[in-house]
Amino acid sequence: MRFWQAVVASGLILSAGLGLLVMSGTARGLAAPDLQAQLVVQDFPLPPDMGVDPARVADFMAAKLQQRLEDDVAIRLMLPEDPLQKVRDIVLPRLMNVVAVQAMMSEIPELDALLGLGSFRQTVSGEIDSREPAADVALTVPGALLATVDGAVVGIVTTSTGLTALNLGDMAAGQSHHVVVWRADSAAVPDLRRAILLGAADGQRGRVLLGGDRGWFGADIEVLRWGRWIIGSLLVAVLVFGLAAVMLPLLVTRQTRRRRPGTAADLPS
């Protein structure tokens, strides 16, 4: 078997084998680092005019409190008419204005998220695994508005480069976190795959496997399931052809050696 034939056959075997590993989903574990994130990007559509208007909340709360002042007999008996009128005209409007209500709602993470609900465009969710202990693990997600880790809401920080990120803290060996991040669709980040980064202390870099993108070459495999069998069959055929290209010359050489006549030393005297 010639050298170039061995190189071509080895290339066919290697490429077809790697292709089958990718199609079967087992290639993710090849040369995987200690810190890895497997995430999926999905659209987060909302109905029109979805969200909370602070002005409407302030007007509603002020109207309800004024109604309580009118209906509460104990308050009317304890307060004279003049101070009661000042509470209606001065105190309540100052306490229940738009700025005050919005500030109070912003201090509660869940309500603050409702204020920005109309800005939600996408979700980034998945698992973050660490095979070895890692300190100060962080995940950068551009345009992040709200994030949960294992079902608990966590704070979002802004890095020195202007990217939003969430801190996962220290991770023990074999520990895993389920994260969900709601983000705005920022036009300033054309390639989200390169912008989402995973790292830890001491310069440790993790690997991010991001799925859910659209428009890439071969994306129709996800919806046309029969296409997977065609590609898989072609890869198997290439793998068999490569193995045959290696094995057949070896078998032919072995058979040829067996059929050679004996040497002079083997002949009877």
**Statement to judge: residues 155 and 40 lie in one domain:** yes
Domain span including residue 160: 32-47+119-215
96 belongs to a structural domain? yes
61 and 151, same domain (yes or no): no
Residue 190 has pLDDT above 60, yes or no: yes
Give 10's pLDDT tier (boundaries 50, 70, 90).
confident
> For residue 159, what are its two tokens?
């890095």
Distance CA 19, CA 235 (A): 7
The answer on 211 and 128 residing in a single domain is yes
Digit-coded pLDDT (tens) for 46-94: 777 666 777 777 778 777 777 777 777 777 677 777 777 777 777 777 7
Rounded to whole angstroms, how far apart are CA atoms 192 and 142? 8
Statement to judge: residues 194 and 77 lie in one domain = no
Same domain, 111 and 206: no
Integer Cα distance of 98 and 112 in angstroms: 14
Domain CATH number, residue 189: 2.60.40.2960
Q: Would strands 164-171 and 35-43 be described as parallel, antiparallel, or unpaired?
A: unpaired
Sign of CA dihedral 92, 96, 100, 105: positive
Phi, psi of 167, rounded to the nearest 5 degrees: -90, 130
How many Å separate Cα 267 from the centre of its chain? 76
121-158 pLDDT, tens digit each: 888 999 999 989 999 999 999 888 888 999 888 888 88
Q: Mark whether 36 and 134 lie in a shared domain.
A: yes
Six-digit token string for 82? 């003049």
| Spatial distance between the Cα atoms of 164 and 186, rounded to a whole number of angstroms | 12
Q: Count the neighbouring beta carbons within 10 Å of the beta carbon of residue 25.
A: 8
In a domain, 193, yes or no: yes
Residue 129 lies in a domain: yes
* pLDDT over 60 (residue 267): no
Residue 218 has pLDDT above 80, yes or no: no
Across residues 184-191, what is the average pLDDT? Answer: 64
Asked if residue 263 belongs to a domain, the reply is: no
How many domains, the chain?
2
Q: Does residue 68 fall inside a structural domain?
A: yes
The domain boundary residue, chosen from 215, 237, 256: 215
Residues 221-259: pLDDT tens digits?
A: 776 777 778 888 888 888 888 888 888 777 777 777 777
User: Any idea which residue has 């704070």 for tokens?
Assistant: 155
